Chains A and B, each alone.
Chain A
């Protein structure tokens, strides 16, 4: 199963690269009478999904081998009533489903199919959240399924209303009536009041899935209960899918209603998410929940950047999405290694000084902490600075000040927690058991992050610029 997963995701990544090359060379591609459609924006999301899935499945091999040998899966088996190898098979069978749904989100031309695929990611990941079968896992899974279900039903209502508002402009063309390639051309003639309500519902719906405040409450529970590689995919790939849906409808609404209407709402929700994350990051007792709040903060930043809009804001958002998908998995992997080493996810029970017993993970954890909080040598600094410039360019001075102060608070909170965990005197723990797979994934991803701080491959940057062009100019 491990091999099949690895091979499949490696093939997926190479296909994604081929798709990117094709899109860069000759513009949007479509297949099957326009059932599939890929422009630069969808190609970017597909590329990121494929990258994340491959990286996470490499780490998963090491992670689950350790879970198996340390008896954690055995416990999960007792709760769930199945053998440990069945549990493993469950994970490796769920992953391709999840990745398939993620890819379909980005490649579907029809906005209804996009919704179906986003719902598909939710359904596949509910099983990931209840993987360990503990009481807390069931609670988290229930919360996730119910909040996600209600949120997505709002998104569906929004999709229906979008179709309704387009109905007049498109006439009787019911078959292609929800196709992006058709809608984007005619968006200016949509019925305006309906589109307004539709966008609000879409924002609430896909916003729930992206975990922006105040619909974020499922996130800390789900991310801390799912197995680490699964949680990493939820925090990057699935988050990208939700934001992708939001961006598509944002384009429609700004063509129909002017950019002003959507921007105000997006800025409000984005800043709110960042603000909500701050206190929970500062006083956090559990390092896996800390990661979830960091994810709420980052989705807030991306939504805010989308709200600032203009070429700069969108560039900031898409750069942030790219860097986030590359950096966040490493943060999860480090936390996973620490959790497996100490058998706890509470700061209080970890005595500090982890750098002595796990030098590689400790160093990577420190580095990636600096990276996700936006310290200068790393790439998040560039994207956050771009967002800030976009804010100033639009004369949102007060908002920009809020943005910076939230970032500073989150930086300090994170740094205090993680340095307390990693640095300090040697508590005399035995050296951590790090198998090959874990070492390779941590070291390899660290290398990618360092390189990306200084150099973005030119085709990737052209792809991002192409996507910016789609969002801004249509």
Chain B
């Protein structure tokens, strides 16, 4: 008799891990050091990879394993390494200076999470009692919250590198949405997206480096020559 994993258990594990991902995102909002922000991003990406693996295991969808491996390898391993080296190279020691202070930022993130749940609610069909619908409901809310908080981080931070981190965590939200709603996009699309994310970080890294070199600072609020 083939072994059939209990979907209920899988659901609980995924919900727990998605909650952890969300907590990490909010922790990143409250974080002041740039290196620790990068490490939080790495842990968050690792968890996402783990979620993907759990989904692959409980639904016997083997192609998601590849997406999980890619996530762990690229987003939890390679990208944080690259970003940390960039930090060393540009030589920023100062802390992140957010526009809005930390307590208020965290409060706003809480509000955005709530908004995520409200939006996700409209997709919830209680008549569909299958495991898939329940799974989609909770993780979609988390995914939308990640997306919105990533947005907020980008607006709230003035350092070029932290804006890149915001963009990356926003992309993590998208990955969570893709993996939990539909058990992953077609594989060729997943690989294309990973490739794009990698290249985007390289491009942005080059830009950050050049901005740091030319302006002697990575504060993007100093980029204000082009005005009407």
Chain A interface (Cβ within 8 Å of chain B)? 35, 79, 110, 112-113, 115-116, 119-120, 123, 126-127, 130, 133, 135-136, 138-143, 145-146, 149-150, 153, 156-157, 160-161, 163-164, 167, 174-178, 193-194, 197, 220-221, 224, 280, 289
Bound-state CA distance A79–B213 (Å) is: 10
Say if the beta carbon of B189 comes within 8 Å of chain A: yes
Least CB distance from B221 to A in Å reads: 11
- Contact partner of B203 (CB less than 8 A), chosen from A123, A140, A194, A280, is A123
> Assuming A119-B196, A142-B220, A194-B123, is B167 touching A174 (CB within 8 A)?
no
- Contact partner of A119 (CB less than 8 A), chosen from B178, B200, B210, is B200
Which chain A residue lies CB-closest to B151? A150
A residues near B183, Cβ cutoff 8 Å:
174
Q: Judge whether B185 and A150 touch: CB under 8 Å.
A: no
Least CB distance from A133 to B in Å reads: 7
Bound-state CA distance A161–B203 (Å) is: 27
- Contact partner of B177 (CB less than 8 A), chosen from A119, A120, A157, A224, is A157
Bound-state CA distance A115–B188 (Å) is: 12
Bound-state CA distance A221–B227 (Å) is: 9
Q: Judge whether B226 and A140 touch: CB under 8 Å.
A: yes
Q: Judge whether B167 and A138 touch: CB under 8 Å.
A: no
B residues near A146, Cβ cutoff 8 Å:
154, 163, 167
Q: Judge whether B181 and A160 touch: CB under 8 Å.
A: yes
User: In the complex, which of the residues B163, B184, B196 has the most CB atoms of chain A within 10 Å of its own CB atom?
Assistant: B196
B residues near A157, Cβ cutoff 8 Å:
147, 174, 177
Q: Judge whether B154 and A116 touch: CB under 8 Å.
A: no
Say if the beta carbon of B215 comes within 8 Å of chain A: yes
17 more A-B residue pairs beyond the given contacts A112-B189, A142-B160, A220-B228, with a C-beta to C-beta distance below 8 A: A112-B186, A123-B203, A135-B214, A138-B210, A145-B207, A149-B167, A149-B204, A150-B151, A150-B167, A160-B178, A160-B182, A163-B185, A164-B182, A167-B181, A175-B186, A193-B123, A197-B119
Between-chain CB contacts (< 8 Å), 17 pairs: A110-B188, A115-B193, A120-B199, A127-B203, A135-B215, A138-B223, A140-B226, A143-B223, A146-B154, A149-B200, A150-B151, A150-B170, A156-B193, A161-B181, A163-B182, A174-B184, A289-B228
The interface residues of chain A, by DSSP majority, are classed as helix
Q: Judge whether A177 and B186 touch: CB under 8 Å.
A: yes
Q: Judge whether A113 and B188 touch: CB under 8 Å.
A: yes
Interface residues in B93-136 by Cβ distance below 8 A to A read: 119, 122-123
Q: Judge whether B185 and A112 touch: CB under 8 Å.
A: yes
> Assuming A119-B200, A193-B123, is B225 touching A136 (CB within 8 A)?
yes
Least CB distance from A390 to B in Å reads: 32
> Assuming A135-B215, A135-B225, A150-B170, is B192 touching A116 (CB within 8 A)?
yes
Q: Judge whether A142 and B196 touch: CB under 8 Å.
A: no
A residues near B200, Cβ cutoff 8 Å:
119, 123, 145, 149
Q: Write out, one digit per residue, whether chain B residues 156-192 have a CB within 8 A of any chain A CB (1) or not (0).
A: 0000100100010011001001100111111011001
B residues near A150, Cβ cutoff 8 Å:
151, 154, 167, 170
Bound-state CA distance A161–B140 (Å) is: 11
Least CB distance from B226 to A in Å reads: 5
Q: Judge whether A178 and B223 touch: CB under 8 Å.
A: no
The interface residues of chain B, by DSSP majority, are classed as helix
Say if the beta carbon of B195 comes within 8 Å of chain A: yes
Least CB distance from B39 to A in Å reads: 22
Bound-state CA distance A176–B187 (Å) is: 10
Say if the beta carbon of B17 comes within 8 Å of chain A: no
- Contact partner of B181 (CB less than 8 A), chosen from A113, A135, A156, A164, is A164
B residues near A153, Cβ cutoff 8 Å:
147, 167, 170-171, 174
Least CB distance from B10 to A in Å reads: 18
Q: Judge whether B223 and A142 touch: CB under 8 Å.
A: yes
A residues near B204, Cβ cutoff 8 Å:
145, 149
- Contact partner of A193 (CB less than 8 A), chosen from B122, B170, B215, is B122
Say if the beta carbon of B35 comes within 8 Å of chain A: no
Say if the beta carbon of B66 comes within 8 Å of chain A: no
Q: Judge whether B186 and A178 touch: CB under 8 Å.
A: yes
Bound-state CA distance A324–B151 (Å) is: 34
Q: Write out, one digit per residue, whether chain B residues 204-226 have a CB within 8 A of any chain A CB (1) or not (0).
A: 10010011001100001001111
Bound-state CA distance A202–B166 (Å) is: 21
B residues near A178, Cβ cutoff 8 Å:
185-186, 189
- Contact partner of B196 (CB less than 8 A), chosen from A116, A139, A194, A280, is A116
Bound-state CA distance A153–B171 (Å) is: 7
B residues near A136, Cβ cutoff 8 Å:
225-226
Least CB distance from B181 to A in Å reads: 5
B residues near A142, Cβ cutoff 8 Å:
160, 207, 211, 220, 223
Q: Judge whether A130 and B196 touch: CB under 8 Å.
A: no
Which chain A residue lies CB-closest to B63? A174
A residues near B215, Cβ cutoff 8 Å:
135, 138
B residues near A163, Cβ cutoff 8 Å:
178, 181-182, 185
A residues near B199, Cβ cutoff 8 Å:
120, 123
